Structure 1
Amino acid sequence: MTKNIVRISKIISYYGFCSRREAEKLIEAGKVKINGKVVNNFIVNSDDIKKIEVENKELQRPLSTRMWLMNKPPGFICSNKKQNSKKIIFEIIPKKIKRVVLVGRLDMFSEGLILLTSNPKLSTFLENPRNKIVRKYIVEINEAISPEILKKTSSGIVIKGQFYNKLKIKTLKYSSKIFLKIELKEGKNREIRNIVEYCGKKIKSLKRLSFGPFNLTNEKLGEIREIPQKVLENKLKSLGLKVEDYFR
Protein backbone atom coordinates (compact mmCIF):
# COMPACT_ATOMS: atom_id res chain seq x y z
CA MET A 1 0.00 0.00 0.00
CA THR A 2 1.33 3.44 -0.90
CA LYS A 3 2.09 5.57 2.14
CA ASN A 4 0.95 9.19 1.85
CA ILE A 5 3.22 10.95 4.33
CA VAL A 6 2.28 14.56 5.05
CA ARG A 7 3.18 17.18 7.64
CA ILE A 8 0.54 17.41 10.36
CA SER A 9 0.83 21.20 10.34
CA LYS A 10 -0.28 21.21 6.69
CA ILE A 11 -3.45 19.34 7.57
CA ILE A 12 -4.26 21.61 10.52
CA SER A 13 -3.75 24.65 8.29
CA TYR A 14 -5.95 23.09 5.60
CA TYR A 15 -8.71 22.63 8.17
CA GLY A 16 -8.46 26.38 8.77
CA PHE A 17 -7.55 26.22 12.46
CA CYS A 18 -4.30 28.22 12.24
CA SER A 19 -1.16 28.73 10.17
CA ARG A 20 1.40 25.94 9.68
CA ARG A 21 3.93 27.67 11.91
CA GLU A 22 1.37 28.06 14.70
CA ALA A 23 0.33 24.41 14.24
CA GLU A 24 3.90 23.21 14.75
CA LYS A 25 4.11 25.16 18.01
CA LEU A 26 0.89 23.46 19.15
CA ILE A 27 2.36 20.06 18.27
CA GLU A 28 5.51 20.85 20.26
CA ALA A 29 3.30 21.84 23.21
CA GLY A 30 1.49 18.49 23.11
CA LYS A 31 -1.84 20.07 22.20
CA VAL A 32 -2.50 18.00 19.07
CA LYS A 33 -4.06 14.53 19.07
CA ILE A 34 -4.61 12.13 16.18
CA ASN A 35 -7.07 9.30 16.75
CA GLY A 36 -7.12 10.19 20.46
CA LYS A 37 -3.35 10.06 20.99
CA VAL A 38 -1.04 13.04 21.52
CA VAL A 39 1.36 13.29 18.57
CA ASN A 40 5.07 13.60 19.22
CA ASN A 41 6.34 14.13 15.67
CA PHE A 42 5.51 16.36 12.73
CA ILE A 43 4.54 13.86 10.02
CA VAL A 44 1.82 11.26 9.62
CA ASN A 45 0.44 8.82 7.06
CA SER A 46 -2.71 10.67 5.99
CA ASP A 47 -4.49 7.37 5.30
CA ASP A 48 -4.34 6.56 9.04
CA ILE A 49 -6.13 9.70 10.20
CA LYS A 50 -9.63 9.17 11.58
CA LYS A 51 -9.83 12.18 13.89
CA ILE A 52 -7.70 15.24 14.66
CA GLU A 53 -8.04 17.27 17.84
CA VAL A 54 -6.31 20.56 18.59
CA GLU A 55 -6.58 21.92 22.13
CA ASN A 56 -9.25 19.24 22.76
CA LYS A 57 -11.37 20.48 19.85
CA GLU A 58 -12.09 18.07 17.01
CA LEU A 59 -11.38 19.57 13.61
CA GLN A 60 -13.95 19.32 10.83
CA ARG A 61 -12.75 18.90 7.27
CA PRO A 62 -13.67 21.74 4.88
CA LEU A 63 -16.67 21.08 2.68
CA SER A 64 -14.74 20.28 -0.47
CA THR A 65 -11.35 19.96 -2.09
CA ARG A 66 -10.59 22.74 -4.53
CA MET A 67 -7.95 22.86 -7.24
CA TRP A 68 -6.63 25.53 -9.56
CA LEU A 69 -4.52 25.25 -12.68
CA MET A 70 -1.86 27.87 -13.39
CA ASN A 71 0.38 28.59 -16.37
CA LYS A 72 3.49 29.66 -14.47
CA PRO A 73 5.58 32.34 -16.17
CA PRO A 74 9.39 32.13 -16.04
CA GLY A 75 11.13 34.37 -13.52
CA PHE A 76 9.22 33.22 -10.43
CA ILE A 77 10.24 30.68 -7.80
CA CYS A 78 7.70 28.22 -6.44
CA SER A 79 7.66 29.31 -2.81
CA ASN A 80 5.45 31.19 -0.39
CA LYS A 81 8.47 32.73 1.35
CA LYS A 82 10.33 35.74 -0.01
CA GLN A 83 13.94 34.94 -0.94
CA ASN A 84 16.05 38.08 -1.26
CA SER A 85 15.02 39.96 -4.41
CA LYS A 86 13.60 36.93 -6.22
CA LYS A 87 9.96 37.02 -7.24
CA ILE A 88 7.75 34.30 -5.75
CA ILE A 89 4.77 32.63 -7.38
CA PHE A 90 2.42 33.66 -4.56
CA GLU A 91 2.88 37.30 -5.59
CA ILE A 92 0.69 36.66 -8.64
CA ILE A 93 -1.82 34.30 -7.03
CA PRO A 94 -5.02 36.25 -6.22
CA LYS A 95 -5.45 36.91 -2.50
CA LYS A 96 -8.93 35.35 -2.62
CA ILE A 97 -7.22 31.98 -3.19
CA LYS A 98 -6.21 31.22 0.39
CA ARG A 99 -4.49 28.37 2.20
CA VAL A 100 -3.35 26.44 -0.85
CA VAL A 101 -0.34 24.23 -1.46
CA LEU A 102 1.53 23.88 -4.73
CA VAL A 103 1.62 20.62 -6.65
CA GLY A 104 4.53 20.05 -8.99
CA ARG A 105 7.05 22.81 -8.46
CA LEU A 106 9.07 24.28 -11.32
CA ASP A 107 12.39 26.11 -11.06
CA MET A 108 12.62 29.86 -11.58
CA PHE A 109 13.52 29.67 -15.27
CA SER A 110 10.83 27.14 -16.25
CA GLU A 111 7.23 27.78 -17.21
CA GLY A 112 4.02 25.84 -17.58
CA LEU A 113 1.56 23.86 -15.52
CA ILE A 114 1.44 24.31 -11.76
CA LEU A 115 -1.45 22.98 -9.68
CA LEU A 116 -2.74 24.58 -6.49
CA THR A 117 -4.99 22.73 -4.08
CA SER A 118 -6.69 23.42 -0.77
CA ASN A 119 -6.06 19.79 0.25
CA PRO A 120 -2.51 18.78 1.30
CA LYS A 121 -3.51 15.11 1.22
CA LEU A 122 -4.16 15.41 -2.52
CA SER A 123 -0.90 17.29 -3.03
CA THR A 124 1.00 14.53 -1.25
CA PHE A 125 -0.65 11.82 -3.35
CA LEU A 126 0.09 13.55 -6.65
CA GLU A 127 3.74 14.24 -5.85
CA ASN A 128 4.53 10.83 -4.32
CA PRO A 129 6.79 9.03 -6.87
CA ARG A 130 5.33 5.68 -5.80
CA ASN A 131 2.06 6.70 -7.45
CA LYS A 132 3.83 7.14 -10.82
CA ILE A 133 1.89 10.22 -11.92
CA VAL A 134 3.12 11.15 -15.42
CA ARG A 135 4.42 14.66 -16.06
CA LYS A 136 4.88 15.84 -19.67
CA TYR A 137 7.26 18.57 -20.83
CA ILE A 138 8.39 20.25 -24.03
CA VAL A 139 12.01 21.42 -23.93
CA GLU A 140 13.86 23.46 -26.54
CA ILE A 141 17.59 22.68 -26.69
CA ASN A 142 20.48 24.24 -28.59
CA GLU A 143 21.26 21.19 -30.74
CA ALA A 144 20.14 17.61 -31.23
CA ILE A 145 21.18 14.78 -28.92
CA SER A 146 22.40 11.61 -30.61
CA PRO A 147 20.00 8.62 -30.59
CA GLU A 148 22.61 6.54 -28.74
CA ILE A 149 22.85 9.00 -25.85
CA LEU A 150 19.07 9.43 -25.74
CA LYS A 151 18.62 5.67 -25.48
CA LYS A 152 21.15 5.45 -22.66
CA THR A 153 19.59 8.40 -20.84
CA SER A 154 16.02 7.12 -21.10
CA SER A 155 16.97 3.79 -19.52
CA GLY A 156 17.82 5.35 -16.16
CA ILE A 157 21.15 6.95 -15.24
CA VAL A 158 23.24 8.19 -12.31
CA ILE A 159 24.43 11.81 -12.45
CA LYS A 160 26.70 13.10 -9.68
CA GLY A 161 25.50 10.35 -7.35
CA GLN A 162 21.80 10.96 -8.06
CA PHE A 163 19.81 8.19 -9.76
CA TYR A 164 17.19 9.21 -12.31
CA ASN A 165 14.57 6.62 -13.27
CA LYS A 166 13.49 5.66 -16.76
CA LEU A 167 11.80 8.37 -18.79
CA LYS A 168 10.45 8.79 -22.29
CA ILE A 169 12.30 11.18 -24.60
CA LYS A 170 11.40 12.01 -28.19
CA THR A 171 13.16 14.51 -30.46
CA LEU A 172 10.99 16.94 -32.42
CA LYS A 173 12.17 19.37 -35.11
CA TYR A 174 10.35 22.54 -36.19
CA SER A 175 12.15 24.59 -38.81
CA SER A 176 15.61 25.20 -37.33
CA LYS A 177 14.51 24.51 -33.74
CA ILE A 178 15.16 21.30 -31.79
CA PHE A 179 12.77 20.16 -29.06
CA LEU A 180 12.56 17.23 -26.67
CA LYS A 181 9.21 15.84 -25.62
CA ILE A 182 9.80 14.31 -22.19
CA GLU A 183 7.61 12.18 -19.94
CA LEU A 184 8.66 11.26 -16.41
CA LYS A 185 7.03 9.89 -13.26
CA GLU A 186 8.90 11.72 -10.53
CA GLY A 187 9.89 15.30 -9.86
CA LYS A 188 13.45 15.41 -8.57
CA ASN A 189 15.02 18.85 -8.29
CA ARG A 190 16.23 20.14 -11.70
CA GLU A 191 15.92 16.61 -13.12
CA ILE A 192 15.43 17.57 -16.77
CA ARG A 193 18.10 20.28 -16.66
CA ASN A 194 20.62 17.89 -15.12
CA ILE A 195 19.89 15.21 -17.73
CA VAL A 196 20.20 17.62 -20.68
CA GLU A 197 23.45 19.00 -19.25
CA TYR A 198 24.70 15.42 -18.84
CA CYS A 199 24.04 14.96 -22.57
CA GLY A 200 26.26 17.97 -23.29
CA LYS A 201 23.47 20.28 -24.46
CA LYS A 202 21.85 23.49 -23.23
CA ILE A 203 18.19 24.22 -22.53
CA LYS A 204 16.73 27.29 -24.21
CA SER A 205 13.23 26.88 -22.72
CA LEU A 206 11.41 24.34 -20.55
CA LYS A 207 7.65 24.07 -20.24
CA ARG A 208 5.44 21.56 -18.41
CA LEU A 209 2.34 20.67 -20.40
CA SER A 210 0.55 18.28 -18.05
CA PHE A 211 0.59 16.60 -14.65
CA GLY A 212 -1.39 13.36 -14.59
CA PRO A 213 -4.90 14.06 -15.95
CA PHE A 214 -4.46 17.83 -15.61
CA ASN A 215 -3.45 19.68 -18.78
CA LEU A 216 -2.72 23.18 -19.97
CA THR A 217 -5.09 24.30 -22.71
CA ASN A 218 -5.03 27.90 -23.90
CA GLU A 219 -4.06 29.63 -20.63
CA LYS A 220 -1.87 32.70 -20.98
CA LEU A 221 1.30 33.01 -18.91
CA GLY A 222 0.30 33.86 -15.35
CA GLU A 223 -3.34 32.88 -15.87
CA ILE A 224 -5.07 30.86 -13.14
CA ARG A 225 -8.39 29.04 -13.45
CA GLU A 226 -10.27 26.87 -11.00
CA ILE A 227 -11.14 23.34 -12.05
CA PRO A 228 -14.93 22.80 -11.70
CA GLN A 229 -15.83 20.34 -8.94
CA LYS A 230 -17.45 17.79 -11.25
CA VAL A 231 -14.43 17.84 -13.57
CA LEU A 232 -12.12 17.48 -10.57
CA GLU A 233 -14.13 14.55 -9.24
CA ASN A 234 -13.80 12.74 -12.57
CA LYS A 235 -10.07 13.36 -12.70
CA LEU A 236 -9.62 12.03 -9.17
CA LYS A 237 -11.59 8.92 -10.14
CA SER A 238 -9.26 8.44 -13.13
CA LEU A 239 -6.37 8.31 -10.64
CA GLY A 240 -8.12 5.56 -8.67
CA LEU A 241 -9.02 7.84 -5.76
CA LYS A 242 -12.26 7.68 -3.81
CA VAL A 243 -14.14 10.93 -4.33
CA GLU A 244 -15.76 10.70 -0.89
CA ASP A 245 -12.28 11.03 0.68
CA TYR A 246 -11.92 14.49 -0.84
CA PHE A 247 -15.46 15.88 -0.72
CA ARG A 248 -18.07 15.77 2.02
Structure 2
Amino acid sequence: MSGQDGERIAKYLARAGIASRRDAERMIGEGRVVLNGAKVEHPATFVVAGDVVMVDGAMVAEAARTRLWRYHKPDGLLTTHRDPQGRPTVFEKLPPDMPRVVSVGRLDLNSEGLLLLTNDGTLARRLELPTTGWLRRYRVRVYGMVDSDRLVSLKQGITVDGVRYGPIAAEVDSAKGANAWLSVSIAEGKNREIRKVMAALGLETTRLIRVAYGPFQLGNLPRGGVAEITGKVLRDQLPKDK
Protein backbone atom coordinates (compact mmCIF):
# COMPACT_ATOMS: atom_id res chain seq x y z
CA MET A 1 0.00 0.00 0.00
CA SER A 2 1.09 3.56 -0.55
CA GLY A 3 1.08 5.58 2.62
CA GLN A 4 -0.12 4.89 6.17
CA ASP A 5 -3.80 5.07 5.18
CA GLY A 6 -3.56 2.85 2.12
CA GLU A 7 -4.59 4.05 -1.32
CA ARG A 8 -7.75 4.97 -3.18
CA ILE A 9 -9.55 1.94 -4.52
CA ALA A 10 -9.55 3.18 -8.14
CA LYS A 11 -5.76 3.46 -8.02
CA TYR A 12 -5.52 0.05 -6.34
CA LEU A 13 -7.56 -1.55 -9.13
CA ALA A 14 -5.45 0.21 -11.74
CA ARG A 15 -2.20 -1.05 -10.20
CA ALA A 16 -3.66 -4.55 -10.10
CA GLY A 17 -4.25 -4.36 -13.85
CA ILE A 18 -8.05 -4.56 -13.58
CA ALA A 19 -8.72 -1.33 -15.46
CA SER A 20 -7.55 2.25 -15.86
CA ARG A 21 -8.46 4.57 -12.99
CA ARG A 22 -11.19 6.12 -15.10
CA ASP A 23 -12.69 2.73 -15.98
CA ALA A 24 -12.31 1.57 -12.37
CA GLU A 25 -14.35 4.58 -11.23
CA ARG A 26 -17.02 3.65 -13.78
CA MET A 27 -17.05 0.06 -12.48
CA ILE A 28 -17.51 1.38 -8.94
CA GLY A 29 -20.45 3.50 -10.14
CA GLU A 30 -21.97 0.36 -11.69
CA GLY A 31 -21.80 -1.41 -8.32
CA ARG A 32 -19.33 -4.05 -9.52
CA VAL A 33 -16.68 -3.50 -6.81
CA VAL A 34 -16.94 -4.93 -3.30
CA LEU A 35 -14.61 -4.19 -0.36
CA ASN A 36 -14.67 -6.52 2.63
CA GLY A 37 -18.13 -7.72 1.70
CA ALA A 38 -19.69 -4.27 1.16
CA LYS A 39 -20.38 -2.63 -2.17
CA VAL A 40 -18.06 0.32 -2.76
CA GLU A 41 -20.08 3.51 -3.14
CA HIS A 42 -17.35 6.06 -3.86
CA PRO A 43 -13.95 5.99 -5.67
CA ALA A 44 -12.38 7.89 -2.75
CA THR A 45 -12.72 4.74 -0.62
CA PHE A 46 -9.32 3.60 0.68
CA VAL A 47 -7.85 0.10 0.65
CA VAL A 48 -5.39 -0.97 3.34
CA ALA A 49 -3.30 -4.09 3.90
CA GLY A 50 -5.48 -7.12 4.60
CA ASP A 51 -8.57 -5.79 2.83
CA VAL A 52 -10.40 -8.10 0.44
CA VAL A 53 -11.41 -6.50 -2.86
CA MET A 54 -13.69 -8.21 -5.37
CA VAL A 55 -14.74 -7.19 -8.88
CA ASP A 56 -17.65 -8.95 -10.56
CA GLY A 57 -17.49 -11.59 -7.84
CA ALA A 58 -13.81 -12.41 -8.37
CA MET A 59 -11.13 -11.60 -5.80
CA VAL A 60 -8.52 -9.05 -6.89
CA ALA A 61 -4.98 -10.23 -6.24
CA GLU A 62 -2.27 -7.92 -4.98
CA ALA A 63 -0.58 -6.00 -7.75
CA ALA A 64 2.19 -7.90 -9.51
CA ARG A 65 5.38 -6.28 -10.74
CA THR A 66 4.77 -3.82 -13.55
CA ARG A 67 5.10 -5.36 -17.01
CA LEU A 68 4.76 -3.94 -20.53
CA TRP A 69 4.25 -5.68 -23.88
CA ARG A 70 4.35 -4.70 -27.55
CA TYR A 71 1.38 -6.02 -29.53
CA HIS A 72 0.88 -5.88 -33.30
CA LYS A 73 -2.83 -5.11 -33.54
CA PRO A 74 -4.48 -6.27 -36.76
CA ASP A 75 -7.27 -4.18 -38.20
CA GLY A 76 -10.81 -5.37 -37.47
CA LEU A 77 -10.33 -5.58 -33.68
CA LEU A 78 -11.71 -3.17 -31.09
CA THR A 79 -9.45 -1.92 -28.30
CA THR A 80 -11.94 -2.67 -25.54
CA HIS A 81 -12.56 -5.45 -23.04
CA ARG A 82 -16.23 -5.84 -23.92
CA ASP A 83 -18.29 -4.79 -26.93
CA PRO A 84 -22.09 -4.68 -26.61
CA GLN A 85 -22.36 -5.51 -30.32
CA GLY A 86 -20.26 -8.64 -29.93
CA ARG A 87 -17.50 -7.52 -32.29
CA PRO A 88 -14.04 -9.10 -31.83
CA THR A 89 -11.68 -7.34 -29.43
CA VAL A 90 -7.93 -7.13 -28.93
CA PHE A 91 -8.14 -8.78 -25.52
CA GLU A 92 -10.03 -11.82 -26.82
CA LYS A 93 -7.22 -12.49 -29.30
CA LEU A 94 -4.28 -12.35 -26.89
CA PRO A 95 -2.38 -15.56 -26.01
CA PRO A 96 -4.11 -17.54 -23.22
CA ASP A 97 -1.07 -17.27 -20.93
CA MET A 98 -1.22 -13.46 -20.86
CA PRO A 99 -2.22 -11.91 -17.52
CA ARG A 100 -5.05 -9.39 -17.46
CA VAL A 101 -3.79 -6.25 -19.19
CA VAL A 102 -5.00 -2.82 -20.25
CA SER A 103 -3.93 -0.88 -23.31
CA VAL A 104 -1.89 2.30 -23.40
CA GLY A 105 -4.29 4.43 -25.41
CA ARG A 106 -6.26 2.87 -28.24
CA LEU A 107 -6.22 2.07 -31.92
CA ASP A 108 -9.60 2.24 -33.61
CA LEU A 109 -11.30 -0.69 -35.34
CA ASN A 110 -9.72 -0.12 -38.75
CA SER A 111 -6.27 0.92 -37.52
CA GLU A 112 -3.36 -1.47 -37.02
CA GLY A 113 0.18 -1.61 -35.72
CA LEU A 114 1.84 -1.07 -32.36
CA LEU A 115 -0.33 -1.17 -29.26
CA LEU A 116 1.34 -1.17 -25.84
CA LEU A 117 -0.23 -3.39 -23.18
CA THR A 118 0.46 -3.36 -19.45
CA ASN A 119 -0.75 -5.06 -16.27
CA ASP A 120 -0.52 -1.69 -14.47
CA GLY A 121 -3.39 0.69 -15.16
CA THR A 122 -1.60 3.56 -13.44
CA LEU A 123 1.34 3.17 -15.82
CA ALA A 124 -1.05 3.04 -18.79
CA ARG A 125 -2.57 6.38 -17.83
CA ARG A 126 0.87 7.90 -17.26
CA LEU A 127 2.11 6.84 -20.70
CA GLU A 128 -1.03 8.20 -22.39
CA LEU A 129 -0.45 11.74 -21.16
CA PRO A 130 1.07 14.24 -23.63
CA THR A 131 3.36 15.41 -20.81
CA THR A 132 5.54 12.32 -21.42
CA GLY A 133 6.66 14.06 -24.62
CA TRP A 134 6.42 10.75 -26.46
CA LEU A 135 5.52 10.86 -30.15
CA ARG A 136 3.16 8.39 -31.78
CA ARG A 137 4.45 7.67 -35.29
CA TYR A 138 2.36 6.27 -38.12
CA ARG A 139 2.49 5.24 -41.75
CA VAL A 140 -0.69 6.49 -43.38
CA ARG A 141 -2.01 5.65 -46.83
CA VAL A 142 -4.33 8.32 -48.21
CA TYR A 143 -6.45 8.72 -51.32
CA GLY A 144 -6.63 12.15 -52.90
CA MET A 145 -4.32 14.85 -54.16
CA VAL A 146 -1.83 15.77 -51.45
CA ASP A 147 -0.97 19.42 -51.00
CA SER A 148 2.53 19.44 -49.49
CA ASP A 149 2.19 23.03 -48.26
CA ARG A 150 -0.94 22.12 -46.30
CA LEU A 151 0.87 19.14 -44.80
CA VAL A 152 3.69 21.40 -43.63
CA SER A 153 1.16 23.81 -42.11
CA LEU A 154 -0.02 21.07 -39.76
CA LYS A 155 3.08 21.79 -37.66
CA GLN A 156 1.13 24.81 -36.40
CA GLY A 157 -1.83 22.66 -35.38
CA ILE A 158 -5.30 22.68 -36.90
CA THR A 159 -8.91 23.05 -35.78
CA VAL A 160 -11.42 20.60 -37.25
CA ASP A 161 -15.12 20.80 -36.42
CA GLY A 162 -14.36 22.90 -33.36
CA VAL A 163 -11.67 20.55 -32.01
CA ARG A 164 -8.13 21.88 -31.74
CA TYR A 165 -5.35 19.44 -32.63
CA GLY A 166 -1.78 20.18 -31.64
CA PRO A 167 1.27 20.17 -33.92
CA ILE A 168 1.41 17.32 -36.43
CA ALA A 169 4.50 16.42 -38.45
CA ALA A 170 3.50 14.94 -41.82
CA GLU A 171 5.42 14.34 -45.03
CA VAL A 172 4.98 12.31 -48.21
CA ASP A 173 6.98 9.08 -48.42
CA SER A 174 5.74 8.00 -51.83
CA ALA A 175 2.92 8.74 -54.24
CA LYS A 176 1.38 7.06 -57.26
CA GLY A 177 -1.57 8.71 -58.92
CA ALA A 178 -4.16 9.61 -56.27
CA ASN A 179 -2.64 7.27 -53.67
CA ALA A 180 0.14 8.32 -51.31
CA TRP A 181 1.95 7.01 -48.24
CA LEU A 182 2.65 9.57 -45.52
CA SER A 183 4.77 9.54 -42.38
CA VAL A 184 2.81 11.22 -39.58
CA SER A 185 3.85 11.98 -35.99
CA ILE A 186 1.56 13.29 -33.26
CA ALA A 187 2.09 13.95 -29.56
CA GLU A 188 -1.42 13.70 -28.19
CA GLY A 189 -3.56 11.24 -30.11
CA LYS A 190 -7.14 12.47 -29.75
CA ASN A 191 -9.94 10.18 -30.95
CA ARG A 192 -9.47 9.37 -34.66
CA GLU A 193 -7.21 12.43 -34.90
CA ILE A 194 -5.28 11.49 -38.04
CA ARG A 195 -8.36 10.40 -39.98
CA LYS A 196 -10.22 13.59 -39.12
CA VAL A 197 -7.28 15.85 -39.94
CA MET A 198 -6.64 14.12 -43.25
CA ALA A 199 -10.34 14.40 -44.13
CA ALA A 200 -10.11 18.14 -43.44
CA LEU A 201 -7.34 18.25 -46.07
CA GLY A 202 -9.57 16.44 -48.57
CA LEU A 203 -7.78 13.11 -48.11
CA GLU A 204 -9.37 9.75 -47.32
CA THR A 205 -7.33 7.54 -44.99
CA THR A 206 -7.34 4.04 -46.47
CA ARG A 207 -4.76 2.47 -44.15
CA LEU A 208 -3.27 3.58 -40.83
CA ILE A 209 -0.38 1.73 -39.18
CA ARG A 210 1.21 2.84 -35.90
CA VAL A 211 4.91 2.06 -36.13
CA ALA A 212 6.15 3.58 -32.86
CA TYR A 213 4.90 4.80 -29.49
CA GLY A 214 7.61 6.84 -27.83
CA PRO A 215 10.83 4.77 -27.74
CA PHE A 216 9.04 1.51 -28.52
CA GLN A 217 8.92 0.29 -32.13
CA LEU A 218 6.64 -2.09 -34.02
CA GLY A 219 9.68 -3.44 -35.84
CA ASN A 220 9.15 -6.85 -37.43
CA LEU A 221 6.64 -8.07 -34.85
CA PRO A 222 4.16 -10.21 -36.85
CA ARG A 223 0.45 -9.37 -37.01
CA GLY A 224 -1.18 -10.54 -33.80
CA GLY A 225 2.24 -11.05 -32.21
CA VAL A 226 3.05 -10.13 -28.59
CA ALA A 227 6.53 -9.43 -27.19
CA GLU A 228 7.29 -8.44 -23.61
CA ILE A 229 9.62 -5.49 -23.01
CA THR A 230 12.30 -6.49 -20.53
CA GLY A 231 12.32 -4.96 -17.08
CA LYS A 232 15.64 -3.19 -17.67
CA VAL A 233 14.49 -1.62 -20.94
CA LEU A 234 11.22 -0.60 -19.31
CA ARG A 235 13.02 1.09 -16.41
CA ASP A 236 15.49 2.82 -18.76
CA GLN A 237 12.83 4.12 -21.16
CA LEU A 238 10.05 5.23 -18.85
CA PRO A 239 9.77 9.01 -18.51
CA LYS A 240 11.29 10.20 -15.25
CA ASP A 241 9.02 11.84 -12.69
CA LYS A 242 9.54 15.59 -12.53
Structure 2 length-normalised TM:
0.78
**2-structure distance, mates of 1:230, 1:147:** 41
Give the 3 Å change call, closer, same or farther, for CA 199–83 of structure 1 in structure 2.
Answer: same
Give the 3 Å change call, closer, same or farther, for CA 204–188 of structure 1 in structure 2.
Answer: same
Partner of 2:240: 240
SS at the partner of 1:231? helix
**2-structure distance, mates of 1:41, 1:129:** 28
Within the alignment, does 1:191 sit opposite 2:186 as a pair? Answer: no
**Identity of aligned pairs, percent?**
30
Matched AA of 2:105: G
Partner of 2:230: 228
SS at the partner of 1:115? strand
Alignment of 1:24-43 (within 5 A): 25-26=33-34, 41-42=42-43
**CA distances 1:7-66 after superposition (whole Å, capped 9, x unpaired):** 943632643799954786337x9887xxxxxxx74379xxxxxx8427756999635211
1:103 Cα deviation from its structure 2 partner: 0.7
8 A contact 1:74–1:111 mirrored in 2: yes
Give the 3 Å change call, closer, same or farther, for CA 232–148 of structure 1 in structure 2.
Answer: same
Within the alignment, does 1:211 sit opposite 2:213 as a pair? Answer: yes
**2-structure distance, mates of 1:41, 1:152:** 46
Matched AA of 1:172: D
1:190 Cα deviation from its structure 2 partner: 0.3
Matched AA of 1:217: G
**2-structure distance, mates of 1:175, 1:16:** 45
Partner of 2:3: none
Greater shift in the superposed pair: 156-165 or 226-235: 226-235
Matched AA of 1:127: E
8 A contact 2:148–2:171 mirrored in 1: no
Q: CA RMSD in A?
A: 3.3
**2-structure distance, mates of 1:104, 1:16:** 15
SS at the partner of 2:137? strand
Aligned residues: 220
8 A contact 2:142–2:204 mirrored in 1: yes
1:102 Cα deviation from its structure 2 partner: 0.5
Greater shift in the superposed pair: 83-92 or 206-215: 83-92
**CA distances 1:186-235 after superposition (whole Å, capped 9, x unpaired):** 12100000000000011121000011111111111111111122222222
Structure 1 length-normalised TM:
0.76
Partner of 2:13: 12
Give the 3 Å change call, closer, same or farther, for CA 211–173 of structure 1 in structure 2.
Answer: same
Give the 3 Å change call, closer, same or farther, for CA 54–169 of structure 1 in structure 2.
Answer: same
1:77 Cα deviation from its structure 2 partner: 0.7
**CA distances 1:62-81 after superposition (whole Å, capped 9, x unpaired):** 35211111000000010000
Partner of 2:156: 155
SS at the partner of 2:108? coil
SS at the partner of 1:26? strand
Greater shift in the superposed pair: 113-122 or 54-63: 54-63
Matched AA of 1:129: P
8 A contact 2:140–2:208 mirrored in 1: yes
Give the 3 Å change call, closer, same or farther, for CA 212–95 of structure 1 in structure 2.
Answer: same
Greater shift in the superposed pair: 90-99 or 216-225: 90-99
Matched AA of 1:157: I
**2-structure distance, mates of 1:43, 1:156:** 37
Greater shift in the superposed pair: 98-107 or 169-178: 169-178
* Unpaired runs of at least 5, structure 1: 1-6, 33-39, 45-50, 243-248
Partner of 2:89: 88
**2-structure distance, mates of 1:151, 1:118:** 38
Partner of 2:106: 105
Matched AA of 1:53: V
**2-structure distance, mates of 1:241, 1:95:** 34
